[in-house]
Structure 1
C-alpha cells in the first residue's frame, strides 16, 4: 500500500484528475474501477471521483509496487543553465526577468526555455517537490522580448494568477523605443488576426472572422533624435500585439525585424518592465497592489 499526503500544490483539484496525473499511464476506466473496488481510498474511506482534495488529505493506493510502477511514468527534469534573473520570490510566486532570445515555453526553435529553467531553479532549492504540479508560467513574452514573467509555484497561485490576468486585474507595462516622434498619448483599439502559417499577425479596424480585440495605450517618455521611448500598457494580451499595433500606425519598434524596418539594432527594443498585481483572494491577498519593476537598463540577452 502506498499513501500520498496532499500538499498545497495538489489541493483544490478533483481526486480523479489528481490520480490521472499521478498514474499518468493509466486510463480513466482503470482509475474509476480502482475507486469503485476500494483499491484507492481517500482518508481510509471509499471515495468518489469528483471529490475535491484538501491539504493534508491522505490518498491510499492499495496496489502493488509493480502495478504502480506500470502505470506511473516518472519524468526527469531537463538539465539546463539558468539564464533568467529572479526579481521577486515568495512561497507562492516567482517573478523573473526573462532575457532576449529565451522562449517562454518549450518550442521547436530552441533547446532551452524559461519553463524548464524555472523547474531547474526551484528543484535546486528543493522547492519543486510535488506529485502532480510543476511550476507554470502565467504570462508569456515573445522570444525576443525581454522582461517580467510570473511563474506560479503551486496550484492555487496558478489558478488565481491566470484568473487575474484573464480579468485584466494584473496591469502589465512595457517600455519600447519606436521610429518617429510621438508627443501625445496614444489610445489604440483595433482587431488582430493571426496568420499561423507565417507566425505573424495583422491589425484591422473592423471586426472580422477570427479577429480578436486588442487595446494598447502608449505614453511618450522622451525622444532620441528621430525616435521616441514609450511606456505602454496593454489591456489585452495577444501575441505580437504591441509590435503589430505600433507598426500599424507607422511607429514600429526599433530592431523589430518582423514588423519594423531595417536598422542596426540586433534585437527589438521592447521590455516588459513593470507589473502591478491585483485580483488575488484568500491567502494570496497580500500580493494585491504589489508593484514589481525591472527597468529597461536591466534587460539581458541570452548568449548561445
Structure 2
C-alpha cells in the first residue's frame, strides 16, 4: 500500500475541531459571541455566528444564543471546520458523477481510484482538484484546510457517495451532524468467509504498531479512538459474504480495520490481507477463478452506497443511494455463479 493513501485518508473528525473552554473564576459577564472572538484564534465573527445558529456552540452542554452572557466557570464548547492552512489547490477539468446539487450542497458518486484531497504524492487528479474547477468559489471559504467543502471522506479505492458543502453555513451545519454521528451512512462490502449472523464491531482504532500505513483495533482507549460499525448479512456466496455496514463513527479505515479484526477482511483489500486466497479449495481451477476476480476488481470490495442527512438550510431530511459500480457488480456475479455451482464448470 502506498504511504500517501494511508497518510491522507485521515479520520473524519480531523476535518473539524472541538473547542472546549472553561471560563475563569473571575470572568465578567460577556456575550458568548464576543467571548469566543476573544478566546478562539484563526476564526471570524461570521464563523462564530454560524456555529451559534446551528447549535454548534453550547454552554454547560446546552445550545445558547449569541446574547447569552458567559459566567464564571461556564464550560463553553464549539464545533468548527478546521482553521485554514496555506494550501494551494489547482483546478483541474475532471469529470464528476454528480447525484444532487443545490445552492448549499453537492453529492458526488466518487469512482474507485480517485484520491479525495491533495496530499503526499497526490497533488493532482483528486476530487478536490475537480471540485475547485467545477465550483471555483469553494477554495476561498475559511476553514477548508486545503480541502474545499469536505466534511468527510472515503478511501482512494472505495467508491460511492460524498457530500460537499458549497458555503460556510453548510460546512458548519454538516460538520456538526458528522461530529454528533447523526449522518446515516451505509456501505456494501464483500468479505472473505461465511459470516454466520449480523453483528457489531467496536474498539479503539489507532495506527498499527508494526505498519503505520494501516490501522488496528485495540481494547486500550489510549491507543486509538472509539469506533462502532454495525453489519448485516445480505447474501452468502460460499467462501465470501456480501454484507451491509452502517457506521456510527467515521475513523480512518474503520470498516477495513474492523472486518479484519473479526477475521473477515474485505475481498481484494491489499492493505488488510484480503488480496490473498483466505478461504476455499486447493484446486488450481478455484485459484484461477479467484485470480480472475482480483483482476476484475483490483481494489477492496467496498462501496459507500447511501447517505442521509439534514439539509443545512431547509432542515429537510435527505437520503441518497447509488448502485454498486461495474467492477464490483461483475465480481459479485462471478461469486454468485460459483456459489450456484456453475462458474467452475464453464
Instruction: State the Cα distance separating 1:118 from its structure 2 match.
Output: 0.9
From 323, 326, 329, the counterpart of 1:295: 323
Q: Does 2:226 correspond to 1:213? A: yes
Counterparts of 2:138 and 2:262, CA distance in 1? 48
Q: Quick one: distance in 1 between partners of 2:272 and 2:260?
A: 6
What's the offset of the Cα at 1:180?
0.8
Equivalent residues in 2 for 1:173-188, closer than 5 Å: 173-188=186-201
Cα pair distance change 1:184/1:156, threshold 3 Å: same
Equivalent residues in 2 for 1:56-205 (5 A)?
78-110=90-122, 111-123=124-136, 128=137, 132=141, 135-195=148-208, 198-204=212-218
Q: TM-score, normalised by structure 2?
A: 0.59
Question: What's the CA shift for 1:247?
Answer: 0.7
Among candidates 234, 237, 259, match of residue 247 of structure 2: 234
Distance (whole Å) between structure 2 residues aligned to residue 93 and residue 229 of structure 1: 31
Return the alpha-carbon distance in structure 1 between the equivalents of residues 265 and 198 of structure 2. 16
**1:267-286 alignment to 2 at 5 Å?**
267-278=299-310, 283-286=313-316
Cα distance in 2 for partners of 1:268, 1:85 equals 20
Unaligned runs of 5+ in 1: 1-12, 18-27, 29-48, 56-74
Q: CA RMSD in A?
A: 3.0
Matched-pair contact (CA < 8 Å) for 2:103–2:166: yes
Deviation at residue 122 of structure 1 after TM alignment: 2.0
Shift of the alpha carbon at 1:77? 6.0
Count of paired positions: 229
Residues 114 and 127 in structure 2, CA contact (< 8 A), matched pair in contact too? yes
Aligned to 1:25: none
Residue 193 of structure 1: how far off its partner (Å): 1.6
Cα displacement string for residues 182-220 of structure 1 (whole angstroms, at most 9, x for unaligned residues): 23111112121224962211112x224232111010001
Distance between the aligned counterparts of 2:300 and 2:230, measured in 1?
19
For the residues of structure 2 that align with 1:215 and 1:208, how far apart are their CA atoms? 14
- More helix by percentage: 2
Q: How far has the Cα of 1:90 moved from its partner?
A: 0.8
TM-score under structure 1 length normalisation? 0.67
Q: Is the 8 A contact 1:106 1:113 kept in 2?
A: yes
State the match for 2:53 in structure 1. none
- 1:63-85 CA distances to partner (integer Å, 9 max, x unpaired)? xxxxxxxxxxxx98624232431
Aligned equivalents of 1:85, 1:162: Cα separation in 2: 23
| 1:6 match | none
